[in-house]
Amino acid sequence: MMRCSVCVLCLCLISLSRADDVAQTKEKPADSPTSFDSTATPAERIKVADGFQVERLYSVPKALYGTWVNMAVDPQGRLVVSDESGYLYRVTVPNKGEPGEPLAERIPVELGQAQGLLCAFDSLYVVVNGNNETYANGLYRVRDTNDDDQFDSIELMRKLDGTRDHGPHAVLLTPDGKSLYVVCGNNTKLTEINRSRVPRLWDEDQLLPRIYGAGFMRGTPPPAGCIYRIDPDGKDWELVSSGMRNAFDAAVNADGELFTYDADMEWDIGTPWYRPTRVCHVVSGVDWGWRNGSAKWPEYYADTLPPVINLGPGSPTGVVFGYGARFPTKYQNALFLCDWTFGKMYAAHLVPRGATYTAELEDFITASPLPLTDVVVNPHDGAMYGPSQ
């Protein structure tokens, strides 16, 4: 059977590609200065779907490079990664069959703590979401202004008022390739917008007193988690969808439809208003109805839309479609979903249904521990890459 391979950069980098590709890669010497850290999950402990093979590419030296949590692919096929609490790095992975280890280099700009990265429009877009006195949280554009293959210019395009786990997250291309989507969690205040596809009617109109349960994020008002569409220069901001709890990432399918993997509220488990983690087909202008405590909208409300599929408890992180991967067709068309809590990556096989989709769910990768934070497909080698804390 032809086997395909997934690469994971965890404290380690893992890669998924075909087994015949993996077999060509020489094993790293045990005395290498970047040999595997004892905290990184060994590849043999990672269970993957039949026909696939996991390769652990690189165990990140935490004392030098921190904890990598976000990733993008540059036009040359190199990986751009961000330390959760530090800087940006560029990783060059050897071509298949070539000896040597991945080369990690710090990108020479004073920027990092990114939860969103994208190489587009001759730029690196960076969504900073941390706790740093040097630079504010928000969307930045980083460029190479003298064509020496090194970034040297930083532009703050928009400060975003949110931080850490529920702050600003992903940035990705729109289906037409002319604009960007920016994804923000529910502790990010609505930024100034030029237009809104969502009706700006966020009064909650509760007839019964609200029940808060544990009271996490008590007082956080709608519109909560949002997705914006912006121009490449960051001047024009349009609200596309709102009412999510804490979507970390999003992806566009071959039909140009946008999907995200939204978080649950674990303190609500067992209550009538608990909403599990779920895949949402982000139709233009939809409010997904996240409100604090018992004010959440049930999915059957006419004011909102039901999810593509409910998954249950978890912590959604990176998502990507398998387009460009050297995988069987079924998996090239799948939506891959990372769950940080349970150390799992799902493959959601979407099935058209009316104007939207349902999904058949498959456990694609599982391990303990394997807290996956992001996932990308590198079109240059057809492998899937992902960082794990």
pLDDT for residue 16: 60
Angle of CA points 13, 337, 248, to nearest 5° = 90
Q: Are residues 374 and 318 in contact, defined by beta-carbon separation less than 8 angstroms? A: yes
Residues 6+ apart with CB under 8 A from 369: 41, 343
Q: Are residues 239 and 226 in contact, defined by beta-carbon separation less than 8 angstroms? A: yes
CA distances from 91 to 88, 164, 344 (A): 10, 25, 24
Q: With 0-12 CB in 10 A as exposed, 13-18 as middle and 19+ as buried, what is 211?
A: middle
The rounded radius of gyration (Å) of the Cα atoms in the chain is 20
CATH class of 67-383: mainly beta
CA distances from 96 to 19, 21, 157, 319, 352 (A): 11, 6, 38, 25, 37
pLDDT for residue 5: 58
The pLDDT tens digits for 43-52 are: 888 999 998 9
pLDDT for residue 134: 82
Q: What are phi and psi of 267, to 5 degrees?
A: -70, -15
pLDDT for residue 3: 53
The per-residue pLDDT string of the chain (389 residues; one tens digit each, 9 = 90 and over) reads 345 656 655 545 555 654 444 333 333 333 333 333 445 678 888 999 998 988 888 888 888 888 899 999 999 999 999 999 899 999 999 887 777 888 999 999 999 999 999 999 999 999 999 887 788 999 999 999 999 999 999 999 999 999 888 999 999 999 999 999 999 999 999 999 999 999 998 878 788 888 887 767 787 888 999 999 999 999 999 999 999 999 999 999 999 999 999 999 888 899 999 999 999 999 999 999 999 889 999 999 999 999 999 999 999 999 999 999 999 999 999 999 999 999 999 999 999 999 999 999 999 999 988 899 999 999 999 999 998 87
Residues 6+ apart with CB under 8 A from 70: 81, 82, 114, 115, 116, 117, 373, 374, 387
The pLDDT tens digits for 210-259 are: 888 776 778 788 899 999 999 999 999 999 999 999 999 999 999 999 99
Q: What are phi and psi of 251, to 5 degrees?
A: -150, 155
Q: Is the pTM higher than 0.75?
A: yes
Which residue type does 151 have? F
For residue 323, the SS3 value is: coil
pLDDT for residue 233: 97
For residues 373 and 389, what is the distance between their CA atoms, to the nearest angstrom?
Answer: 7
Q: What are phi and psi of 331, to 5 degrees?
A: -85, -25
Q: Are residues 47 and 364 in contact, defined by beta-carbon separation less than 8 angstroms? A: no
For residues 46 and 129, what is the distance between their CA atoms, to the nearest angstrom?
Answer: 30
**What are the sequence ranges of the domains in the chain?**
67-383
CA distances from 78 to 35, 96, 149 (A): 20, 14, 12
Among the listed residues 298, 362, 355, the one whose alpha carbon sits nearest the alpha carbon of residue 330: 362
Among the listed residues 158, 171, 176, the one whose alpha carbon sits nearest the alpha carbon of residue 236: 158
CA distances from 67 to 9, 86, 104, 348 (A): 10, 8, 13, 28
Q: Are residues 34 and 61 in contact, defined by beta-carbon separation less than 8 angstroms? A: yes
pLDDT for residue 6: 62
Residues 6+ apart with CB under 8 A from 298: 273, 289
For residues 116 and 69, what is the distance between their CA atoms, to the nearest angstrom?
Answer: 9
First to last CA, the chain: 32
